[in-house]
Amino acid sequence: MTKHLKEVERLRKVIEGFPKVTVTVLGDLVADEFVFGEISRVSREAPVLILKHRERAVVPGGAANAANNLADLGVNVLPVGIVGDDEPGRMLLRYFRHKKIPVSGVLKDKAHTTVTKTRILAGMTHTARQQVVRVDREPTEAPNVHLRRELYLAAREYAHASDALLISDYGYGAATPEIVNTLREKGKIGDVPLVLDSRYRLFQYSGITAATPNEPEVEEALGVKIGQSWDAVLRAGEEIMGRMKLRSLVITRGRDGMVAFNHRHKPMDIPIYGSDEVADVTGAGDTVIAAFTASLAAGASTEEAAHIANYAGGIVVMKRGTATVLREELLSALEKAPPTTRPH
């Protein structure tokens, strides 16, 4: 059997093992709302387009999107987060129940505003839809002490029954360093891998197993500019690995694919799967961390998990809106193109 065939067979076994693993998702649950209007005319009141309302869709975003991706990959997923007693919150819960995703770890609080990102899309009939503006609704305050305690308890309970813990921190307070660090220090969760996606405070977490930041997040965290320099990527990755004491790190680089770092092996440069003419990058990071975490939970190495996450990311950016990847799509992609790396 050739090397490529062995790699494909190994990745196939990992993907086929997804239904046997359970992943807890602790994070900021977001409702992604898409409102589409057909361009009618220019307003007399101001130089803006008048759109005739045609469609509205509300789908899981943020940590909810990571959980949704895990579910569509066949993983048993246990989400932990907060929603408000409002329409977006109820729609997220309804969506989860429809997908048979347990919601007992999702706290419902009347004083909380469900994070909602409303994207207004405009276009003509049978033409591409262009996002013209986004409106975010966010909580005015972080979760109180009681809610943070409930989040910790739910995450601790679920982590005991899980093969991995995915932490999705968008800065809204459901997956703070305080909660995660307490969970690791006092939660008695053993060797459960902790995989982190944190937009603004990567270095405030301790005891993390793996992280999946994108290149702009890495540049902001380190105060550097990477650009097209491979040496700069290496220096940035090695600094993050060292400062956070990680076992694994994946830096996603958009059209340049991703770079996987392992504490035992040299970094691996993986070109993007599929076309670099992407349709929509909304939520792609959630898909990547979902596939990466599921793969680690199923016994994959850092490199194997990165390859699977790269397939997932390449598939999802060709879809419009906040989307997911099915396990069958991953297996199909694997059959079409064996995993590749760029030499350095």
Catalytic residues: 286
d(CA 78, CA 76): 7
Please give the DSSP secondary-structure letter assigned to residue 212.
-
Eight-state DSSP code of residue 219 = H
Q: Which two tokens stand for residue 107?
A: 């706290």
CB-hemisphere CA count at 13 Å for 25?
36
C-alpha to C-alpha distances, 78 to 6, 23, 294, 324, nearest whole angstrom: 32, 6, 13, 17
Strands in 170-208 per DSSP E: 194-198
Residue 200 to residues 61, 213, 287, 303, Cα–Cα distance (Å): 17, 10, 19, 26
Q: Which three-class secondary structure state does DSSP give residue 142?
A: coil
In this structure, what DSSP letter does residue 114 have?
P
